[in-house]
A and B are shown apart, each in its own frame.
Chain A
Amino acid sequence: DAGVTQSPTHLIKTRGQQVTLRCSPKSGHDTVSWYQQALGQGPQFIFQYYEEEERQRGNFPDRFSGHQFPNYSSELNVNALLLGDSALYLCASSLGPGSTEAFFGQGTRLTVV
């Protein structure tokens, strides 16, 4: 049973560019949440998708947007990249929003230069 898979694992982008990160949830899970983890810090909630809609959003600017597809996979898009966007981006899936157990992927390490 495949867990949560994220792609790519690493990427390097230039300031001002746009990036798309992808997440496939654990089999049977229908809810995807995205977190940003800066170096040396705990993850911070970006947003959550359920039934192809953004259900809740953290304190992130509109440059961060997302999408959920009918197969429950999800994308995180970041426009106009800043150096401060360099971080590990984690995707978590769960069965329904508010589930007590979320499974995380290994993350995408984004470096903005």
Chain B
Amino acid sequence: AQKITQTQPGMFVQEKEAVTLDCTYDTSDQSYGLFWYKQPSSGEMIFLIYQGSYDEQNATEGRYSLNFQKARKSANLVISASQLGDSAMYFCAMRGALSGGYNKLIFGAGTRLAVHP
């Protein structure tokens, strides 16, 4: 079964420090995509970063980077220099042919991040 697992229900970090949010996935697809989204209390899902299964380099977008370890089926999100505005729910998601097709994202249960001053 295609599945995303986020084992950290909640995390906290001091402002200006780095934090890693864990994500493991299970798929039989050879070609798939991995996503991270941020959901503040307003409810909107904000796209952060994307990693394709055939991308050789880890994706980076500003303060966000994705630590992609294909053999371990791991796609952890690293946020550097945390800011108070980073406090939110973070979701890891996947899509692939066997995950229901490229039109469908499968989400994990999310990790709530709290950034302390």
Q: Do A106 and B42 touch across chains, with their CB atoms under 8 A apart?
A: yes
Q: Are A104 and B46 in touch, CB under 8 angstroms? A: yes
What does DSSP make chain B's interface, helix, strand, loop or mixed? strand
Q: Which residue in B43, B52, B104, B110 is a CB contact (below 8 Å) of A42?
A: B110
- Contact assessment for A33 and B44 in the assembled complex, using a CB-CB cutoff below 8 Å: no
Q: How many A-B residue pairs have CB under 8 A?
A: 61
Report the bound CA distance from A104 to B100 in whole Å: 20
Q: Determine whether A84 belongs to the interface, using a CB cutoff of 8 Å to chain B.
A: no
Which one of B4, B103, B109 lies within 8 Å of A97 (CB-CB)?
B103
Interface size class of A (residues with CB under 8 A): 20 to 34
Q: Which residues of A contact B105 (CB under 8 A)?
A: 33, 35, 43, 45, 102
In the complex, which residues of chain B have a beta carbon less than 8 angstroms from the beta carbon of A92? 45
What range describes how many residues of B lie at the interface?
20 to 34
- Residues of B57-115 contacting chain A, CB below 8 A: 91, 93, 100-110
Q: Are A101 and B47 neighbours in the complex by a CB distance under 8 Å? A: yes
Contacts A42-B109, A100-B33 given; indicate if A48 touches B47 (C-beta within 8 A): no
Note all chain A residues with C-beta closer than 8 A to B37: 104
B93 to chain A, nearest CB (A): 8
Cβ of A58 and Cβ of B109 under 8 Å apart? no
Instruction: Report A's interface with B, CB cutoff 8 A.
Output: 33, 35, 40-45, 48, 55-56, 58, 88, 90, 92, 97-98, 100-107, 109
